[in-house]
Structures are given as structure tokens and as C-alpha cells.
Amino acid sequence: MAITEPDTQELPSRSVMDESIRLITDNATRIMTWEYDRERDQLVTLYNKAMSSQWNSVTDLDWAIDVDPERLVNEQPSPVMQLVRAASEIPNSPIASWGEKEHTEAGIEFLKASMSQFMHGEQGAMMTAAKIVETVPWIDAKYYASTQTMDEARHTEVFAKYLHEKLGDAYPMSPNLDAQIMALLEDSRWDIAYLGMQIVIESLALAAFGDMLRRTNEPLLRKLLRYVMADEARHVAFGILSLSEYYENLSSAELKERQEFMLENTIRQRGRSTTPEVWDHLNVSLEEVLPFLHQASAEIGMHPTAQFQRGFFAKLVPNTRRLGLLDANDGYLRKAWGEAGLMEYEFADDTATDYNSYDAVAADRAAR
């Protein structure tokens, strides 16, 4: 039997560690409970489902599949790539000289950038789920959040592995996602981590993964996304089932804070997401290329994130309705979202109702 040598490498020096870690102070109070009775039937059902639909990142995914990044991005160009192509056709554009080689290279960089944000976001989700284990007062929710912590570990791991083995180097966490997740991890109110992660970011993740799934035929990525989405839908359902109970008993002033939080994290966020790091990598100045991207967007009548935004709000709005946050304080959130044209999604399927339809893990097992 082979014996693995212990790792004799020295620990990284303090300065290297400082660059590779981040210190975060959580201001929420941890809670232990002596109330072990299982009182929340829907959370019990969800927890049992989480246990039976666990999957294994090593044996359920075929990592031997050969992935050709060039083919991956040219098969079905993403909306952002269509826009970049249109911008390159405008005279005097800084990317007017681009040929197929440059477009393909850019496509791969944009894909790596998306995957990198997925990976960092998943680590944020793992830490938020762990925070929920510690801060939520109900035993059924602690149990559930523990399964979610494992799910998010697996998600972080598979995105990191796909990047590392199939695509190349990861990009750093974007400042926007960083600010959003750090705020949740630091907040003293336990339900804000829930609201921000389980409702906002998880709905966002479902839309983003669904968007990528529609555009890819690559079998490893497809299965990875289907399995991750099966878990994410359960996570959103967990948020809805827990918070709808908690919010029934909050005061108007407390609910107003939550409504403000939703506004801050949704429509006020829109338009903040550019990708300067990708343009940097391609040696193109974002400042110079941006006007051409805007012009191209107007000319071809396409906004690169429009489809994704629709998918996001089609999940988020009905999920928020289930929490009672649309109508509290004389419909404060309903009015603000209505002005932004989002209320058309009010009665779309909410994720507490349709999470089972995402369960590709159970479906694959039943088919075998």
C-alpha cells in the first residue's frame, strides 16, 4: 500500500496569506436551542429531500470529458459576445481590427469571468449558510442550513474544478459581488443574511445558471449546472418557508427596513455590473470601448443582460410576494417595483412551489 508523504512544504509567509485570505467580522449573535421538537413540517420535508438528493461531485460528474473552450464559446455566442461583435463593426471602434481569433479569445475570457463569479459567489453562499446554522433560532432551520452548507461546498468545488481543469485561470471576485456578500456576512440581523442570500442571490443564481444552461451543449457543464440548480431551487424554497413565518410578526418599521434592503439589492443594483477586468486582460480600455458597446446595443436593439434580468425578476418578484414584503407599508415595494415595470412577474411560479421541478438529481436516478 502506498503511503502518502506528509506535506513538508512550509506554511506560506504572513504576507502571502494576507493576500489570499479575507477577515470578516460577523456582528450577529449565535443561538443554541434546547427545543428539538420538529414543528415545521415543510422544513422537515425540505431537509429530507436535501438528504436524498445529495450528489457526489467526483462520481456523478464525468470529469474525463474533454472540453474545448473555443468550441464552447462559439457554439452559441452569449449576448455579450453578440454585442461585442456588433461593436467591432462600428467604424473607429477600438476593437474594429478584431478577427475571429480575437472574438474567440474574448468569448473565453468572458466565460472565465462568469465562472469565476459563480465560484466566489458559491463560497459566499457556503459561508452564509454556515452563518444561518449559527444564528437562526429554529432547530429545523439549523438542520436544513447544514445541508445547504454542504451543497454550497460542492458548488464552490465544482466551479473551481471546471475553471482549473477545463478553462484556465480564475478572475478575482468582482467589487460588486464582494460588497453584496460581505454586507450579509457582517450584518447583525440574522434574517438579512437569509433574505440577501436565499432570496436575492439564490434567485439571481438560478437565473444565471439557467441562462448558461440554455446556451451550452457541453455535456459536463450541462450536468454540472442542472445538478447545482436542483440544489439552488431548494435553497430558495428554504428562504421563503422560513422568512414568510418570521416576517408575519415584524413591525411595520422592521418590514420597511427589509423592503429598503430589497430595493437596494435589486433595481438600484442594475447597470453597476461592467467587466473592466476582462477588458484589461484583453488590453482594451473599457472607457474607450464602452460608448461603442452602448451604440451597438441601441443599434441591434439588445441589452446583454436583458434575458438574464427577466429570468431573475420572474423568480424574485413572486418569491418576495410570498414573504409579504410587496404589500407591507402601504405597498411600498409594490409601488417601487411597479414603477420599474417588474410587477408583471407577481404571479409567476414561486420557488417554494416549483422547487421539485428543478430536481435533476432525482430525475436522473429515477430514469436509471
The binding site for Fe ion (CB under 5 A) comprises 122, 125, 152, 155, 232, 235
Residue 360 has φ and ψ, to the nearest 5°, of -65, -25
In angstroms, the CA 316 to CA 346 distance is 9
Which pairs from 298-307 meet CB under 8 Å and 24+ separation?
A: 299/86, 300/82, 300/83, 300/86, 302/79, 302/82, 302/83, 303/79, 304/78, 304/79, 304/80, 304/82, 304/83, 305/79, 305/273, 306/79, 307/79, 307/211
37 to each of 41, 52, 139, 141, how far by Cα in Å? 11, 22, 8, 12
Contact status, residue 351 vs residue 319, Cβ threshold 8 Å: yes
**Closest separation between CB of residue 202 and Fe ion, Å?**
5
**Closest separation between CB of residue 171 and Fe ion, Å?**
18
Residue whose CB is less far from Fe ion, 199 or 255: 199
Residue whose CB is less far from Fe ion, 233 or 282: 233
**Closest separation between CB of residue 252 and Fe ion, Å?**
30
- DSSP at 344: G
**Closest separation between CB of residue 180 and Fe ion, Å?**
14
In angstroms, the CA 67 to CA 218 distance is 7
**Closest separation between CB of residue 53 and Fe ion, Å?**
13
Residue whose CB is less far from Fe ion, 229 or 296: 229
Query: Residue 251, Cβ neighbours under 10 Å: how many?
Result: 9
Residue type, 120: H
Residue whose CB is less far from Fe ion, 120 or 235: 235
The cell for 135 is 444564528
**Closest separation between CB of residue 143 and Fe ion, Å?**
16
Residue whose CB is less far from Fe ion, 104 or 319: 319
- DSSP at 285: -
Residue whose CB is less far from Fe ion, 87 or 200: 200
233 to each of 105, 200, 226, 322, how far by Cα in Å? 33, 12, 11, 15
The cell for 349 is 411560479
**Closest separation between CB of residue 201 and Fe ion, Å?**
8
The cell for 20 is 489570499
Q: Among candidates 98, 44, 79, which has minimal Cα distance to 308?
A: 79
The cell for 341 is 415595470
Residue whose CB is less far from Fe ion, 125 or 185: 125
Q: What are the residues whose beta carbons fall under 8 Å from the beta carbon of 320, sequence distance 6 or more?
A: 199, 262, 326, 333
**Closest separation between CB of residue 124 and Fe ion, Å?**
9
**Closest separation between CB of residue 217 and Fe ion, Å?**
23
**Closest separation between CB of residue 30 and Fe ion, Å?**
21
Residue whose CB is less far from Fe ion, 122 or 350: 122
Residue whose CB is less far from Fe ion, 152 or 359: 152
Residue whose CB is less far from Fe ion, 173 or 328: 173
